[in-house]
Amino acid sequence: MIDNAPLRTFVHKGLTIEGYSRAAVQSYWRIPELKLGFDLGAQPWGFMATSTWFISHTHLDHIAALPVYVARRRMMKMEPPTIYLPETAIEPIEKLLRAVSRLDRGRLPCTLLPAVPGEEIELSREHVVTVSNTYHTLPSVGYVVWDRRRKLKQEFHGLPSDTIRTIRLSGIDVTQEVRVPLVAYLGDSTPEGLDACPAMFEAMILITELTFVAHSHRKEKIHKFGHMHLDDLLARREQFQNEVVIATHFSTRYTDERIRRILAKRIPDMLDGRLQAWL
């Protein structure tokens, strides 16, 4: 496998999280079992097989590799990918792709679709993605991937199977949809991006920006530029029901060692072992 971009991997209950993120450098994530990814600030070669992507916003450290990714899939004779992104970004991205196409002298076939807060995106019979508002310096959105199944309604539990079959054949729906949030993704945002979407706190795995951690960086100023501070995470400690919280997108002002040192001092239990600093 060609190693062209840094990559970390973590597996939890059958889901593999692959990615890397550093503020102003590059952000990209993939969950191969769900056949989707988030953001394309760079594109590890192995990510090329994933054909569905969800873009949080259009700062270059989150989309710089989008044209490259599309071109590589065309070169490898793969089907055009489907890319969801904030609605206001579609026209500028179309213009960007046309310009790159002229420079590269090659087609960049892909489907660009709007990710509208409050709407749902069908992935498959088992999975759906919901879109929520986030709060950055330009239009941005967050995503939650849900597992959904049809399960027997509570009032029919315990009944013989023949009875349930008779009820179903009479035209009564004996099942109901049950959803479980699997993965939530918060790109660049103030903490209001979490607050606006309760499922962010409930998803089995949460990937969230945590750009600033030092006391010397005042959170009021940080919020003005659309980012989060460690103080914001600590203030919401009791709300995180997630089994795994991946904190990422740390500022390049900090060394990895300084980030680890601050986290060890401010949150030594790492949310009861659920918090991972993705460095």
Got the DSSP string for 226-256? T--BHHHHHHTGGG---SEEEEE-B-TTS-H
For 8-277, which CATH superfamily applies?
Ribonuclease Z/Hydroxyacylglutathione hydrolase-like (3.60.15.10)
Provide the 10 A C-beta neighbour count for residue 273: 8
CA 277 to chain centre: 16
Provide the 10 A C-beta neighbour count for residue 40: 26
- pTM comes to 0.94
**pLDDT tens digits along 237-277:** 999 999 999 999 999 999 999 999 999 999 999 999 999 99
Nearest-angstrom CA–CA distance, 36 and 32: 6
Q: Which two tokens stand for residue 107?
A: 């087609």
| pLDDT for the residue 107 | 96
**pLDDT tens digits along 10-37:** 999 999 999 999 999 999 999 999 999 9
* H or E stretch covering 263: helix 256-266
Site of tokens 């600030």: 41
Burial of 170 (0-12, 13-18, 19+ CB in 10 A): exposed
Q: Which two tokens stand for residue 211?
A: 């750009």
Q: Is the dihedral of CA 33, 37, 41, 43 positive or negative?
A: positive
**161 CB contacts (<8 Å, ≥6 apart)?**
none
* H or E stretch covering 62: helix 60-63
| pLDDT for the residue 153 | 76
Contact between residue 242 and residue 13 where contact means Cβ atoms under 8 Å apart = no
| pLDDT for the residue 152 | 66
Nearest-angstrom CA–CA distance, 229 and 15: 28
Q: Which two tokens stand for residue 120?
A: 């749902």
Q: What is the pLDDT along the chain (279 residues), one digit of tens a residue?
A: 789 999 999 999 999 999 999 999 999 999 999 999 999 999 999 999 999 999 999 999 999 999 999 999 999 999 999 999 999 999 999 999 999 999 999 999 999 999 999 999 999 999 999 999 999 999 999 999 999 987 767 887 877 788 768 778 888 786 788 999 999 999 999 999 999 999 999 999 999 999 999 988 888 889 999 999 999 999 999 999 999 999 999 999 999 999 999 999 999 999 999 999 999
The amino acid present at 164, given as its one-letter code, is I
| pLDDT for the residue 164 | 67
